[in-house]
Amino acid sequence: MRFRTDGWHYADLKAEGYTFEDYFAGRPLAEVEMERQYWDVTFKAERGDVWRIFWRHEVNGAHVDDWVAGYAICCVACGRIHAWTTALNCGQKVKRTYHDVEGKPVEYETCVHQENHTSCWTWTGSAEANTLTASPSLLVVKDRCPWGCGWHGWIKDGEIN
């Protein structure tokens, strides 16, 4: 496992071999500079690369990333990026309602982890120190993965199996 500090926002493109210069070629300078913060390292993503994902929130008008939502991992099976923040089979689902622009109630399902800005997995250890452990196991649901890899494995003490 290799911890990446370059932001997970374009991890999927990095896994396909794109560099910042490739992806933003010919785009307006203002757009390019705004996105550079998420792409500060241009080397290709490799299987086993890991990025930390944060729940973004505002403090005194500034965006702050300090609530860990989970991790994005370059899959050891398919080489694509899978984000591990919330689980489809989370046992702590709750139903909520919001009102749309017309004032009509709309029901949706979430989980207590999303509401509390945490993750459905328990993450221990450190990605930086290569001691990260996830509990329970990680499963890529085949019909939810555009590439259909269906990988199922573990992260334990920095090893992805």
Number of domains in the chain: 1
The reply to whether 101 falls in a domain is no
Domain enclosing residue 155, as ranges: 2-87+120-160
Q: What pTM was estimated for this model as a whole?
A: 0.70
**107 beta partners:** 97
Tokens of 12: 């999927």
Is 114 inside any structural domain? no
Tell me, yes or no, whether 97 lies in a domain. no
49-59/2-4 β-pairing: parallel
Q: What per-residue confidence (pLDDT) applies to 23?
A: 75
The answer for residues whose C-beta is within 8 angstroms of residue 101's C-beta and 6 or more apart is: none
pLDDT of residue 131: 94
User: How confident is the model over 119-151, as pLDDT tens digits?
Assistant: 888 889 988 899 999 988 888 877 666 666 888
* pLDDT for position 40: 57
What is the average pLDDT across 95-102?
Answer: 93
In a domain, 12, yes or no: yes
105 assigned to some structural domain? no
pLDDT at 95: 92
pLDDT of amino acid 56: 74
Residue 93 lies in a domain: no
Percent of the chain's residues with pLDDT above 90: 17
